[in-house]
Amino acid sequence: MNRRAGALTAVLTALVAAAVPGCSSTPPALSLTVLAAASLQPTFTELGDQFRAEHPGTSVRFDFASSSDLAAQLTQGATGDVFASADTTQMDTVAAAGLLAGRPVQFASNTLVIVTAPGNPNRIASFADLARPGLRVVVSPPPMPCGVATRRVEDATGVHLAPVSEEPDVEDVLNKVTTGEADAGVVNRTDALVAGDRVATVTFPQATDAVSSYPIAALKKSPHPELARQFVDLVVGATGQRLLSQAGFGKP
């Protein structure tokens, strides 16, 4: 074989290797997209690490936001593999649009609490105390899951609040309290735990009548339906339930 023929053979071999799938030594990475309620961020981030360890070559990308915002994104054409909501209403919205691959599974619950400045300087001891004249209270509005639950307690107790502001994000509610812009706020138990000693937490019995249930489901248009199902299984399985319990979530 002459030099020119040898060079031509080498070039052709390289072109064929590049064109034939599977010839690359590094397979393309798979990416799973999970849309999840903001309150799930610490736990799901840890579960994402676990999932990656169990599925080498697979990455997990999270989109954390309010459940109502995520449901709106999905019904307006956003794509993903898994949706985890902080209430059943937003999951029902996505289901009604025909976007779920199967029936949602309830995997956790959350309960309202009151947060105040450390030491509870205004001596708030009940939900009714939030209606005191002059007390600066912040809440989340419906359709935010926390806002829906708060409204449910108001209707059940007849105690209707007059918040100085309604914040679309629970983190903003916490921030108003921790910076002294508000005297008290209504958030979920898990949010108060994340805030730690930056707040004092007050429980109230009526919260048990407004518990938020968290459902999860694989999405019908998932590019990776088997991986989506496996992520759901991780959340509802022993590992997911242990981490959720440690984060303060209740049983489904």
Q: What is the mean pLDDT of residues 174-185?
A: 97
pLDDT, position 67 = 95
pLDDT, position 168 = 86
Could you report the per-residue pLDDT of 209-224, keeping only the tens digit for each?
Answer: 999 999 999 999 999 9
pLDDT, position 6 = 47
Could you report the per-residue pLDDT of 163-175, keeping only the tens digit for each?
Answer: 999 998 889 999 9
CB proximity list for 7: less than 8 A, separation 6 or greater: none
170 labeled part of a ligand binding site? yes
Q: Report the alpha-carbon distance of residue 2 to residue 248 in Å, rounded.
A: 74
pLDDT, position 29 = 77
C-alpha to C-alpha distances, 187 to 156, 205, 211, nearest whole angstrom? 18, 15, 12
Could you report the per-residue pLDDT of 67-103, keeping only the tens digit for each?
Answer: 999 999 999 999 999 999 999 999 999 999 999 999 9
pLDDT, position 24 = 43
Q: Which CATH class is domain 30-109+213-247?
A: alpha beta
| Per-residue exposure over 182-221, b if at least 16 CB sit within 10 Å of its own CB, e if not | bbbbbbbbbbbbbbeeebbebebebbeebebbbbbbbbee
Q: How confident is the model at residue 19 (pLDDT cuts 50, 70, 90)?
A: very low
pLDDT, position 23 = 43
pTM for this prediction: 0.85
Range list for CATH 3.40.190.10 in the chain:
30-109+213-247, 112-209
148 neighbors 123 (Cβ within 8 angstroms)? no
Q: At the fourth CATH level, which superfamily is domain 112-209? A: Periplasmic binding protein-like II (3.40.190.10)
CB proximity list for 220: less than 8 A, separation 6 or greater: 98, 99, 100, 101
The 10 Å Cβ neighbour count of residue 111 is 18
CA-closest candidate to residue 100, choices 229, 216, 218: 218
Identify the weakest region by mean pLDDT among 14-18, 91-95, 132-136, 186-190: 14-18
Residue 20 scores a pLDDT above 70? no
67 labeled part of a ligand binding site? yes
109 labeled part of a ligand binding site? no
Q: What is the mean pLDDT of residues 49-53?
A: 97
Q: What is the mean pLDDT of residues 178-189?
A: 97
Q: Report the alpha-carbon distance of residue 35 to residue 76 in Å, rounded.
A: 14
CA-closest candidate to residue 91, choices 212, 244, 216, 246: 216
Residue 130 scores a pLDDT above 50? yes
